Every structure is written in structure tokens, then in C-alpha cells.
Amino acid sequence: MMALECDKSKCLYCGACVGSCPVEALTLYSSWIEVDHDTCTECGICVTLCPVGAMTLGGGSE
């Protein structure tokens, strides 16, 4: 499994990924993004959509 991760050193907390998530797996707090891994389908939309490339599908092998 590839788990979605938000790189805190890049993230601007703009919420672009959150509103674009087709399964509503992301939540924007004041200064962090929460990923609900049970809901996330690892579709990768947020990975290409993030303006600064903060979202990655990594953390494990396929």
C-alpha cells in the first residue's frame, strides 16, 4: 500500500487538496492537514493538484 502523506515543510495550508478530494478524506485545520487513511483511495488527485507539491504517495511498497 502507498499511504498519502502531507510534507509539512512544503505545505502552505491553503486547503486546495482538501476541497478537491473526491472522497472527502482530508481535513484542513488551522495549521495542519489530516489524512483519513481509511477513506483515502490513493487516487493521486491531490498529489498533482497541490500548488507546491506537498502531497506524496509514499511510505511503503506496492
Residue 51 contacts another protein per CB under 8 A: yes
Helix (H) or strand (E) holding 56: strand 55-58
CB of 42 to another protein, least distance (A): 15
Instruction: Give me the least distance between CB of 26 and another protein, in Å please.
Output: 8
Given 4, 6, 40, 50, the residue binding another protein (CB under 8 A): 50
The 10 Å CB-count burial string (b at 16+, else e) for 52-62 is eebbbbeeeee
CA distance 30 to 54: 17
Site for another protein, rule CB under 8 A: 12-16, 18-20, 22, 24, 26-30, 45, 47-53, 55-56
